[in-house]
Amino acid sequence: MSFSSKILDWYHENKRSLPWRKSTDPYKIWLSEIILQQTRVEQGLPYFEKFKATFPTVFDLAKAPADQVMKLWEGLGYYSRARNLHFTAKFIATELNGIFPNTHTAILGLKGVGPYTAAAIASFAFGLPHAVVDGNVFRVLSRVFGIKTPIDTTLGKKEFNQLADTLLAKDKAAVYNQAIMDFGATQCTPANPNCTICPMQKHCTAFSDKLIPVLPIKSKKIKKRDRFFNYLVFKNADTIVLNKRQQKDIWLNLYDFPLVEANSLLSEKELLENEVFQKIIGTQAFTIKKASKPFKQLLTHQKIVAIFWEIELKSALLVNDSSFFEVKQKNINNFAFPKIVDLYFKDKSLYLELF
């Protein structure tokens, strides 16, 4: 029996029930695929349901305010996906009269759609014979065929893509693609794959050569940059000051607080002497009430450590930065924040009573 037949047989017995699989609507498939990029199915599922319910058509998503899209996306991370999603919805609604492109090349031309997502949409929505190659597929192919070429190199990508195209059951592209991804996600998992009852076992190089822990191979280890954020949570009566992140950096278009970034978390003395802090506070009267405990957030290339300085102002902040603005505490739920700010809010027993 061929590799593809074994994968299809396995899928027949073991497939997961996922809501977007019930549809061939390219809009819903695109939505699910963008949400699932770099996200586990269990985490992405509620977001898919929220987006589908709030924006039943591409026109609904296209005309939504950017803040609403970012708020719905809050907590999912990799926010450029949300910005690209919104951009592409507007493009399809206005330039293509709401009709999703139906060729692989045109789908690949959409902003935020890479080779994997294009193959997924082309096969799931239109039955086109394009093989998906995601992390699951890299793992399954490298293990079964014993391929040691690093998956994060140009050569590796080419080799795996060619093999995936050769193996694709072209007349059943949609089912086959879903099958191999499910196989990787639930059977040939990164740690502790279920080899004992695996239909590939007899032909699996990684199993016979004891290479399971080393395959697939990656050439580079991602080095994370440490960043230290000293957030200034200014409060005056029932308002607090927020910052809209508009610089070319992480979390573009999300909201946080005025920030003093430094080489470390600062002591109170260091904060008071810091030039950025002095520029923000100017000559205004203030009292530092307390500093939070440190919070951490890991991103792909960065480790963020933040503390939140809670500062009471005697009058409204004389805003000297166009990104800062005052907002009533009761309206704070209208804004989308990075996870680290949400962690800080959640650590407070009263979400809106900051201090």
Active-site residue list: 33
The least distance separating ligand SF4 from the CB of residue 199, rounded to whole angstroms, comes to: 8
Measured distance CA(18)–CA(33) in Å, rounded: 12
Based on CB atoms, which residue is closest to ligand SF4, 111 or 203?
203
Give residues in contact with ligand SF4 (CB under 6 A): 143-144, 187-188, 193-195, 198, 200-201, 204, 206-207, 212
Measured distance CA(78)–CA(82) in Å, rounded: 8
Measured distance CA(42)–CA(38) in Å, rounded: 12
The least distance separating ligand SF4 from the CB of residue 12, rounded to whole angstroms, comes to: 17
Based on CB atoms, which residue is closest to ligand SF4, 208 or 315?
208
Is the distance from CB of 337 to CB of 260 less than 8 angstroms? Answer: no
The least distance separating ligand SF4 from the CB of residue 200, rounded to whole angstroms, comes to: 4
Q: Is the torsion defined by CA of 240, 241, 246, 250 positive or negative?
A: negative
Based on CB atoms, which residue is closest to ligand SF4, 175 or 206?
206
Measured distance CA(286)–CA(257) in Å, rounded: 16
What is the crossing angle of helices 135-145 and 173-182, to 10°? 80
Q: Is the torsion defined by CA of 234, 236, 242, 243 positive or negative?
A: negative
**Burial letters 240-271, b for 16+ CB under 10 A, else e:** bbbbebeeeebbebbbbbbbbebeeebeeeeb
The least distance separating ligand SF4 from the CB of residue 208, rounded to whole angstroms, comes to: 9
Based on CB atoms, which residue is closest to ligand SF4, 32 or 187?
187
Phi and psi angles of residue 199, each rounded to the nearest 5 degrees, phi first: -65, -15
Based on CB atoms, which residue is closest to ligand SF4, 56 or 190?
190
- Contacts of residue 227, defined as CB under 8 A and 6 or more positions apart, other chains included, come to 261, 302, 303, 304, 305
The least distance separating ligand SF4 from the CB of residue 179, rounded to whole angstroms, comes to: 13
Distance between terminal CA atoms of the chain? Answer: 67
